[in-house]
Every structure is written in C-alpha cells, then in structure tokens.
Chain A
C-alpha cells in the first residue's frame, strides 16, 4: 500500500500559520516525521491558496524538499498554485486532484500531461457526487476517457471514489459499502488504473479516540479489494504496522467479517473484537452509532 502522508494540510492551524509566516521549521518537522515513519509520498494540501499562490507553493515545495527525498503530492484546487508546485518538484509528483468537472478537465488535467506526472482523478462531475456504485463507475469512465484523449495513460491515473464519513446518519454506511464495491470492480472496468482514497474522512465526526480504529479497519478492507494507495496518517503506528503485514490475525478477522462469516468473539483479544465489530459497521452489517464497540 502506497501511503501518501496527509499531515501537511492547511486545515491544521499550525500549518497555515507556518506558510503565512514562512516558518520553515514547522514544515520541515512534519515532512521529516512522515519520512521517518516510512510514508511513500508527502501530500501538500494547501486548499484554494487564494493569496500569492506561486510564491507560497514554491516556498512550501522547496522547504519540504530540503529534508525529504520522497515524491510529493500537490493538493490544491487552484490551477496556478498547482502548476507552480509541479514545476518545483524534483521527483515525479502526483497531481492531487482533478475530476470530471468542466473546470478541472480544462485547467487541471492538461497540467498532468504538460508535467508528465501521475494524477488523482475523483468521481466528482458537474452534477456533483455520484450517489451509487454504478453512477460512480459511469462518471469515472467518462473522465478517464477524456484524460486518455489528452494523452494521459491509465497507468498514470489514480482514481479516487471519494470517501465520506461513516457516521452520517442513514447514509454513511451506504457510502462505505459502495466504495468497497467500487474499488473491487475498478480494475475490471478500467484496466491499468491505480486508486487512492482520502482515508481519514471515513472517521470524520466520530469521537477522536475512536477515529484511528475506523481508519485502520477500513484501509484493511479496501486493501483486500485492491486499493493501491491512501492519503492517510503515517504517524499512526498501528495503521503502518497493519499495512506492513504485521497484524495477520486482525486482517484475517476483517476478511472473514467481509465474507459474512459469523466470528466467535469469545475467543478473541479485545483489539480483535474491536476489529470485527468495526468491520461489521463498515460493511453495513450492523447499524452505526458512536457506541458501536459497546454493543
């Protein structure tokens, strides 16, 4: 599993202040920590970057590259900032992200061709977020076809089905199940494409102490269905250890739960019980509530 380290993002106040005040140390530390934790990419999520997009982006990319040799994922919806970022990268970067929206097709996708980089393409279109697996597939096929016409090969495309919070009343569990299905059939409908997800979004709105568990279990499930990469927190030790194959028993239990097997909880450790209960919630087998581990 390719892990794209998510920790440099402007939603974190420390990061937005550091960019504004050119405080290189904060950025370097985050980049170093993620590199040491064995991330494969460093994501630079700068949001829309309305002010001085070129200068800001050049500074940020330069600062990060001082301390890491990892490739970067340039994460912004501003095409000007995007181009500045891609230009400054020493290693082949990841453009994060384009979509099926007209804007994005016209201004983002051509950049992927121009700078010969990998590109994340989400299932989003001008009509918004496709509500189910079939419409997600339909949307992404359209957009990938368009990208191919621009000269971007399937092998350079990382498809993002868009992960939404499991805790959204009534809907959330439908989303988690739909994305598992999407990842499973993606290889058949678009041979050669890669895939990625914004993993942590699955646990948005969930009590903080329970978020890592949801992230870990969902990643294990997506991995089984063939997910290629995830934008995630490499500083989450359990997540990294899980992806290195150091937790085979937990993974096996998750797989059994995905197959609908009735797992006998009484023989398991508390952590293993949590994995099974969480997998059941993410499969839509039991109704989500913040107290899902307690029932």
Chain B
C-alpha cells in the first residue's frame, strides 16, 4: 500500500501585524500553520524576521568580538542603528538600558528624543524596549510613545504591573505593544485578556521572555510552542498574536558566550534557531554573524 503523508489543516490564524509606517514597515505573523510545517495545509505569509539590538549607551561588558562588527559606532546609538542596516536587518531594536534606575537612571525625555532620532535615521522599523523596571518604564515608554507619535514603533515591555498606563500611551500615539509575562502561559493569557479590554488585539505582540541555552531555554521553548499550538490548533483568540524572542542579551551575558567568539555565535545561534522552531515570529539578536548564520540555515531547508 502506498504511503500517504497526513496533511493537517488548522482553524486558528495568528494575527498579521504591521509595525512601522509606509516604506519603513514590516508585516509579522499571519500564519495558519505550525512553525516550519510547510507540508500542512496553510501558509506562513511572513517568514521569521531578524532584528539586531543596540543600546542607548556604550556597552560596558561586551566582548571585543561582539563590538567589532560595529566598530566605533557603538558609542553613538544613531550611527550604530545605521550600521545595523549593513547586515540586512528587518528591524532594529533599541534597548533603553541606561534608563534603568540600577544602571544610570537617565531621564525619560532623553530616551524619547533618542528613540525618535534613531527611528528617523534608519530605513527599517524600530522596536523600543524599556529597561523592564515596572515603575520607571511608565514614564520612559509613555514619553517615547508621545515623542514618536504616529510612527507605529513596536514598544515594550508592557507588564501586568503597568499595562494600563503604558498600554494607553502606546494606543493613544498609534504604536504597537509588546506584552511581556514571566514564562507562564496562564499569566501570559491573562495579560492579553486584560490589555485587550482597551487595546486592540491586532496590535499586540507576545514576549514570553526568552532564556538562553543552558539557562532555561527549554522553558521558553515549551512556552512558545504551547502558545503557538493553542493559537493555531484550538483557536484561542488571546494567544493568536505574533511572538517576539528577545534573546540576544540573554545569550551574550552567559559565561560561555563571553569565553570565545565561536562559542558565543553558536550560543546565540542555537538559542535563536530553537526558539524559531518553537514558533517565534521575530528574533532579536546582537551579533550580525549569528543573524547571517541563522538566515542561511533556514533558507537552506
């Protein structure tokens, strides 16, 4: 008897979300198949997107081989963001690290002005991540949203502790939100339910928190996989959002990545590839060579 491979068809569709505006825009999500299940019925109209992360301050503890691709540009975020474009990025992610009260506690105004400068200087959409301090981020992210009014940046993290204030600013000024929860599918859904009461679900991207290889990656993997399955297979409206895996920073702070270049690239690469296989729609990386490696790996399938 001839073997016939089973073909699955699912009813859930991940919401297709556009970030950025006009010629600087990018579509993410929109798939109705599980990650890389090209053999099933359905499609992924917007394959995985690749983003490089920059900081709003000169990196202090990065190994030389992570700084090297950008050269002197790392001391100027605008130049750094422009430099990222040499590496075929789909977007740039600006991490407002210096605003963290535990780092430099730099003011919201400055961060917002910088976000605008960076967004205007590049030809791809901008993602902005606050420090993750739930109190400070209310001031910082609200200001970023206001100063960059109408640019449709992807802004986060929106947390259960500050979603009302931060969500409102993101909504009022025409941006897209990153809803972040701490590696727990029930909390993830709860945040989406609460946020969706006043914020359109069509403008929410899920950040389930990404952990690096050897530092809990399997938790992130299982969670992303589950969110994707529940969205696509059981059509749960509150998980049918694209997923962002913000993993570069997690990988490059490991002892292993700091030991030598090859190990660092592979640490970031294996983490990225794993989370893409789990179902991430966007990966945020730090090293351009990792980006190239993973892109080529996927294209070679």
Are A287 and B237 within 8 A (Cβ)?
Answer: no
By the criterion CB–CB under 8 Å, are A287 and B184 in contact? no
A101→B72 CA distance, assembly (Å):
66
Contact of A289 among B186, B222, B226 (CB under 8 A): B186
Residues of B with C-beta under 8 A to A167 = 186
Binds A, one of B44-52, B86-94, B188-196, B286-294: B188-196
| Pair B186/A288 contact, Cβ less than 8 Å | yes
Contact of B222 among A170, A286, A288 (CB under 8 A): A170
Residues on A with C-beta less than 8 A from B184 are 169
Contact B222 A294 (CB under 8 A): no
State the CA gap A286–B185 with chains docked (Å): 12
Does the CB pair A287–B222 fall under 8 Å? no
A78 within 8 A of B: no
List of A residues within 8 angstroms of B193 by Cβ: 289, 291, 294-295
- Is A287 touching B194 in the complex (CB atoms < 8 A)? no
Q: Which residues of A contact B188 (CB under 8 A)?
A: 289
CB-based nearest B residue for A167: B186
Q: Interface majority SS on B: helix, strand, loop or mixed?
A: helix
Q: A170-B222, A170-B226, A287-B230 are in contact. Are A295 and B237 (CB under 8 A)?
A: yes
Cβ-based interface call for B187 (8 A): yes
What residues of B have a CB within 8 angstroms of the CB of A286 in the complex? Answer: 234, 236
Q: Interface readout for B168-194 with A: 1 if CB under 8 Å, 0 if not?
A: 000000000000000011111110011
Assembly CA distance A107 to B77 (angstroms): 71
Q: Could you say which residues of chain B place their CB within 8 Å of the CB of A291?
A: 189-190, 193-194
Q: Chain B, interface size: which category?
A: 20 to 34
Instruction: List which B34-68 residues lie within 8 A (CB) of chain A.
Output: none
Q: Is A126 an interface residue (CB 8 A)?
A: no
Q: State the Cβ distance, A194 to closest chain B Cβ, in Å.
A: 33
Asked if B238 is at the interface (CB within 8 A of a chain A CB), the reply is: yes
Given contacts A291-B193, A291-B194, contact A169 B238 (CB under 8 A): no
Say whether A285 faces chain B, with CB atoms less than 8 Å apart.
yes
Annotate B116-142 by CB proximity to A: 1 below 8 A, 0 otherwise: 000000000000000000000000000
Q: Which of A193-222 contact B (CB under 8 A)?
A: none
Say if the beta carbon of A188 comes within 8 Å of chain B: no
B211 part of interface (Cβ distance < 8 Å): no
Interface positions, chain B 179-222, Cβ under 8 Å from A, are 184-190, 193-194, 196-197, 222
Per-residue contact bits, chain A 138-168, to B (CB 8 Å; 1 contact, 0 not)? 0000000000000000000000000000010
CB within 8 Å of B: which A274-289 residues: 285-289
A290 near B186 with CB under 8 A, answer yes
Enumerate chain A residues within 8 angstroms of B185, measured Cβ to Cβ: 169-170, 287
| CB atoms of B189 and A289 under 8 A apart | yes
Whether B239 sits at the interface, judged by CB under 8 Å, is yes
Q: Which residues of A contact B197 (CB under 8 A)?
A: 294
User: B186 contacts A169, CB within 8 Å?
Assistant: yes
CB of B244 to closest CB in A, whole Å: 20
Closest to A205 in B: B186
Residues of A within 8 A of B190 (CB): 289-291
Cα distance, A288 to B185, chains bound together (Å): 8
* Binary flags per residue of B71-105, CB closer than 8 Å to A gives 1, else 0: 00000000000000000000000000000000000
| B236-260 interface with A by 8 A CB criterion | 236-239
| Min CB–CB distance A283 → chain B (angstroms) | 11
Interface on A for B, CB 8 Å cutoff? 167, 169-170, 285-291, 294-295
Q: List 18 A-B contacts (CB under 8 A).
A: A169-B184, A169-B185, A169-B187, A170-B185, A287-B186, A287-B189, A287-B230, A287-B238, A287-B239, A288-B186, A288-B189, A289-B187, A289-B188, A290-B186, A290-B187, A291-B189, A291-B194, A295-B237
New A-B contacts (15) at CB < 8 Å, excluding given A170-B185, A286-B234, A287-B185: A167-B186, A170-B222, A287-B230, A287-B234, A287-B239, A289-B188, A289-B189, A290-B187, A290-B190, A291-B193, A294-B193, A294-B197, A295-B189, A295-B196, A295-B237
